Amino acid sequence: MNGRSGISRLLLTALIGFIVGPCSAAQGGRHAPAVHVPIMPPQQTQTIADDLGRPFPLPAGMPERIVSMAPNITEILFALGLGGRVVGVTRFCDWPSEAKAIPKIGGLVDPNIEVIRSLDPDLVIAFRGNPLRLVDRVRKLGLPVFVLDIGEELDELFPLIGRIGRVTRTESRAAELVAGLQSRVAAVDARLRGALTRPKVFALLYGQGLWTSGGESYLDDIIARAGGVNVASALPKKWTLYKRERIIKDDPDVIFVLARTEADFASGRERLARTPGMDGVAAVRTGRIFELDENAASRFGPRLVDILVRMANLLHPDGTGGRT
């Protein structure tokens, strides 16, 4: 799998086919209070439960050889300054660019167990997008495996980072990273508090028909946090295929195109404009069709805050949300 269509299929596969069960890393409704990552000395906490509920013994020190089984995990490890300790990643782990040079273990759903074993890791961080049977095979090799889940809301990203900080003994770094991200989110919340306008939004995944994010997607939450209303929010799915007639009826004020490149975005925008009936949709008529970086938006990692800020700025360019 490669190129534009491969990335889009990866996003759909990860969010539809392989993510199962609710995320246990965070609880609560939307706009939850700020999460403070505890800094715990090793001697105070000996184990931590992963998102499968399995106890995981905390290492005495920072792991030396880490295998990441998902792109968002790789991104977080680098953000915690652990890039030099990552010895294996999936073929989809391309952010930051340094991750491209790390040995590959396979994909999300087809990791090579023998390659993982040959890397002699002292920590394997898996994701619920990885098939459980393969994760269990890695565990049966005697390798320490910690499994994490995806969240449905942006606030669930912060405890996820904190838990990775715990198992890698980088609690202080994780706390700093979380504090910085939460500060940026709080700034958006404050700027849009009391907004009188909430534009209707349609988020289009380029290259896979009219796929859009439903109410169970974290992008639905990000749209709301950015001061918009996802027209597909009522659908109880992470991603769903929309019909042209429904988009025309919903009449979104803004369309975000999740694209891999500027060329893909331009192609997607032109395709929308040529679609029969779409010329009457407000977003098309007013030219409010904007690009979102698919690479960043498709991964439950720190760059989602960049997506939030960009959405908020585009939905409310005056910075007030229409307040008087």
Q: Which CATH number is 309's domain given?
A: 3.40.50.1980
Write out the E strands in the chain. Answer: 47-49, 55-57, 66-68, 86-88, 123-127, 145-148, 200-205, 211-213, 229-230, 239-241, 254-259, 289-293
Q: What average pLDDT does the chain have? A: 87
Residue with tokens 């952010």: 95
> Pick the residue with more confidence: 215 or 19?
215
Examine the domain organization and report whether 207 and 99 are in the same domain: no
Domain end point (choices 183, 217, 250)? 183
Q: Has residue 283 been placed in a domain?
A: yes
Give the whole-angstrom CA distance, residue 227 versus residue 180.
21
Query: 249-283 pLDDT, tens per residue?
Result: 999 999 999 999 999 999 999 998 899 999 999 99
Q: Has residue 15 been placed in a domain?
A: no
Examine the domain organization and report whether 168 and 201 are in the same domain: no
pLDDT of residue 37: 55
Tokens of 145: 């495996």
Query: 140-171 pLDDT, tens per residue?
Result: 999 999 999 988 899 999 999 999 999 999 99
Examine the domain organization and report whether 290 and 205 are in the same domain: yes
Q: Which residues contact 275 (CB under 8 A, 6 or more apart)?
A: 244
pLDDT of residue 14: 45
Q: Has residue 286 been placed in a domain?
A: yes
Residue with tokens 């087809």: 110
Domain end point (choices 150, 183, 216)? 183
Q: Has residue 119 been placed in a domain?
A: yes
Examine the domain organization and report whether 260 and 297 are in the same domain: yes
Examine the domain organization and report whether 66 and 166 are in the same domain: yes
Least confident range of 124-128, 149-153, 208-212, 294-298: 208-212
Write down the pTM of the prediction: 0.84
pLDDT of residue 15: 43
Name the residue type at position 92.
Answer: F
Q: Residue 114 belongs to what domain range? A: 45-183
Residue 311's nearest CA partner among 214, 205, 185, 138 is: 185
Tokens of 122: 């002292």
Q: What is the DSSP letter of 145?
A: E
Examine the domain organization and report whether 82 and 178 are in the same domain: yes
Examine the domain organization and report whether 106 and 166 are in the same domain: yes
Residue 113's nearest CA partner among 146, 76, 69, 71 is: 69
Query: 222-253 pLDDT, tens per residue?
Result: 999 999 999 999 998 888 999 999 999 999 99
The DSSP bridge partners found for residue 13 are none
Q: Identify the band that residue 137 occupies on the pLDDT scale cut at 50, 70 and 90.
A: very high
Residue 196's nearest CA partner among 41, 318, 320, 14 is: 320
Give the whole-angstrom CA distance, residue 19 versus residue 285.
37
Examine the domain organization and report whether 290 and 243 are in the same domain: yes
pLDDT of residue 34: 54
pLDDT of residue 129: 85
Examine the domain organization and report whether 122 and 238 are in the same domain: no
The DSSP bridge partners found for residue 89 are 104
Residue 314 in this model has a pLDDT that exceeds 80 = yes
Give the whole-angstrom CA distance, residue 83 versus residue 80.
8
Tokens of 134: 């393969």
Q: Has residue 108 been placed in a domain?
A: yes
52: number of CA atoms within 13 Å, CB side? Answer: 19
Query: To the nearest whole percent, how much of the chain has pLDDT over 90?
Result: 77
- Residue 57: count other Cβ atoms within 10 Å of its Cβ: 10
Q: Has residue 74 been placed in a domain?
A: yes
Examine the domain organization and report whether 216 and 133 are in the same domain: no
What is the number of helices (H) and of strands (E) in the chain? 12, 12
Examine the domain organization and report whether 178 and 247 are in the same domain: no
- SS3 state of residue 32: coil
Examine the domain organization and report whether 115 and 162 are in the same domain: yes
Residue 84 in this model has a pLDDT that exceeds 90 = yes
Q: Has residue 309 been placed in a domain?
A: yes
pLDDT of residue 35: 53
Number of domains making up the chain: 2
The stretch 32-46 carries a mean pLDDT of 54
Q: Identify the band that residue 4 occupies on the pLDDT scale cut at 50, 70 and 90.
A: very low
Q: Has residue 70 been placed in a domain?
A: yes
pLDDT of residue 25: 33
